[in-house]
Structure 1
Amino acid sequence: MTALHEDAVRALTDWTPDGAGQDELRRDYLAHLAERPDGMWRACLPGHVTASALVVDPEGGRVLLTLHPKVGRWLQMGGHCEPGDDTLAAAALREAVEESGIADLALLATDGRTAPVKLDRHQVRCAGKDRPENTHLDVQYVALAPAGARELISEESLDLRWFGWDELPADTDRSVRELVARARTLL
């Protein structure tokens, strides 16, 4: 087992989810990791753990979403864990910084501790359009942006855009809406 795998188990074990559905997902994620020493890596099929972060500007009352090139929808920043990631939280923060272009993001901490805020299990074709779908076991965090932060689009996005709490695009999926609502509640 890698240090990242051990950290993911610790983070999920220590996290107190909000509601029975989230607790069931947490238990499923932990079972996946118990069965799969490679469960953190993209090569683990048919599913693997991913890390994401919703970038929030609390003072501006807005969230930054990326128009994902493979999915074609507005999503939070996130993706696959990499060998250089020491912790699951570090993987989420790395993805948020890379995809937003905002270098001075900080993950939301509660009681002095960084912890996930939500889990989401979804199907995606991360291995290519001609390959079967994989299951992403996404562990979601909130990343705080400084007031007035300016995004910088990367090759991983078709577009980046700030949206007010109540001004998400009409076709925003349920999972992203729930993540935004959870972040708003926590802030």
Structure 2
Amino acid sequence: MTMPAALLSLERLDCPGCSSGPLSFALRPGLSLVRGGEQRGKSSLLRLIAAAAAARGLGCFLADPLDPAQDPTPARAWLAALREQQAAGWRADIAAALGTAFALDEHLDKALFMLSAGSRRKLGLVAAAASGAAITLLDQPFAALDGRSARLLGELLAEAAEGRERAWVLADYELPAALAGVPLAATIELGD
């Protein structure tokens, strides 16, 4: 099987906040890992990737459901705003199915501040999967998830790893155990 073409290639990217110096990498369809220790620039790199994708006209998804500025926003309205931003590729069927699978249906009319960190993170994962974005960026998506939700996310990302159209980028300290054995399109090391 031939390697799919890169959706985004970055050469000698200066990442302020990343402690590893200029970075060069290509994001191809499938699942990639940005691995790094505490304060090594994982979140900064995701924001730089999002900016680079936008500058090239690529659809990109990066959202932070834990942002305190969003606290008063009802969950349903938060999803609706993201649906508008991602209108070209939004998959309502995926949003509905994952919302039910993550047991979020009963929480959609609550303000985000009323949801646990895990529920807010699950809301972000629903939006990420439904977005249809060519590049989907996830910052520590397994944090604060219950076991059942972590297994569901593992299945979702294992399926994404086999995908041929979207590049999913997961930033975390290590490859989560739920993804052991899942083929990665790339690993971007930021050091410990």
TM category, shorter: under 0.3
Query: Relative contact order: is structure 1 or structure 2 higher (C-alpha 8 Å, sep ≥ 6)?
Result: 2
Q: Which has the higher helix share?
A: 2
The normalised TM-score by structure 2 is: 0.26
The normalised TM-score by structure 1 is: 0.27
